[in-house]
Amino acid sequence: MKKIRYAIVIFTLVLFTESCKENSETDSKVLTKEISFTKEASGTLKKAETDSIIATLELEIAEGDYETQTGLMYRKSMQANRGMLFIFPNEIRRSFYMKNTEFALDIIYLNSKNEVVSIQKNAKPLDPTSLPSDGPTRYVLEVNAGLSDQWGLETGDVLNWEKI
């Protein structure tokens, strides 16, 4: 009788261990799946003074709680001609951070007229530090770090965008 109990305990432990191992492998596959870019809008950045085009971008839209809270987190990179546009229902001072964002970004804050209010340049990957806007914003555009300098983007410049 003692041997049967011992065999049942061993058998249960083996099943439990294999089950945990299987779940762990499944979980790691889910967590490592790359989130792909989805083009949902087109955007054109323009100089405020001359109306000349600075850059043309493919945009992924983040609106609603889940999308705006997640943003570009858990992604490895983004192509230079792409960005993520966050759309909020109101215009207030906003603050973003880079927690769980694995590549450096320029965070461009825009008001309800789509004008650049301020830019947080070269936001460091995985940094939980708060990166606030200099004024009320309704939209936030995230692009690869260094692009705002490359473009010569300044306060007052405009992002014209349209959902597709």
Return d(Cα 64, Cα 68) in angstroms, integer: 6
**What CATH superfamily is the domain 41-163?**
Protein of unknown function DUF192 (2.60.120.1140)
Position 33 confidence tier, pLDDT thresholds 50, 70, 90: low
**Count of CB atoms situated within 10 Å of the CB of 13:** 10
Provide the whole-model pTM: 0.80
Position 137 confidence tier, pLDDT thresholds 50, 70, 90: very high
Position 154 confidence tier, pLDDT thresholds 50, 70, 90: very high
Domain ranges of the chain: 1-33, 41-163
What is the arithmetic mean of pLDDT over 60-71?
Answer: 94
Return d(Cα 43, Cα 147) in angstroms, integer: 15
Q: Give bridge partners of residue 133 from the DSSP assignment.
A: none
Position 35 confidence tier, pLDDT thresholds 50, 70, 90: confident
Return d(Cα 114, Cα 110) in angstroms, integer: 5
**Predicted local confidence at residue 2, as pLDDT:** 55
Return the structure tokens found at 94: 């906003």
